[in-house]
Amino acid sequence: GDSVTQMEGPVTLSEEAFLTINCTYTATGYPSLFWYVQYPGEGLQLLLKATKADDKGSNKGFEATYRKETTSFHLEKGSVQVSDSAVYFCALNTGNQFYFGTGTSLTVIP
């Protein structure tokens, strides 16, 4: 069935470090791919999305490219800030429902 696998956390980085959170997916159709972020005490909110192969989603300095050949949608940011500390979820939508990864907790220290 459809599923998402993302790297386990927690991840701890120093401010201004480079961030990569890996995400791979399994889907029978042509899914849209998403990254959601959950700040402490809040619900999830959309960070970025890509709807077809080779699309790049970007927002707030974060980027992810839809790679059909490797079935991946890795999240990257060149220079993280303390305010980026949150839990990040990779997700796909095939049109029937959303499937979420288990989440990766990121802590950025000054």
Partner 1 sequence: DVKVTQSSRYLVKRTGEKVFLECVQDMDHENMFWYRQDPGLGLRLIYFSYDVKMKEKGDIPEGYSVSREKKERFSLILESASTNQTSMYLCASSLIGARGRDEKLFFGSGTQLSVL
DSSP state of 67: B
Task: Find the binder of partner 1 among 41, 69, 70, 110 (CB under 8 A).
Answer: 41
For partner 1, which is the closer residue by CB, 95 or 110?
A: 95
CA 63 to chain centre: 9
Burial class of 5 by CB neighbour count within 10 A (0 to 12, 13 to 18, 19+):
middle
CA–CA distance, 12 with 108 (Å, rounded to integer): 6
Rule CB under 8 A: say whether 81 interacts with partner 1. Answer: no
Task: Find the binder of partner 1 among 19, 23, 25, 32 (CB under 8 A).
Answer: 32
CB of 4 to partner 1, least distance (A): 8
Task: Find the binder of partner 1 among 46, 53, 82, 109 (CB under 8 A).
Answer: 46
CA–CA distance, 106 with 104 (Å, rounded to integer): 6
Rule CB under 8 A: say whether 97 interacts with partner 1. Answer: yes
CB of 102 to partner 1, least distance (A): 4
State the residues that interact with partner 1 by CB under 8 A.
29-32, 34, 36, 41-46, 49, 51, 89, 93-98, 100-103
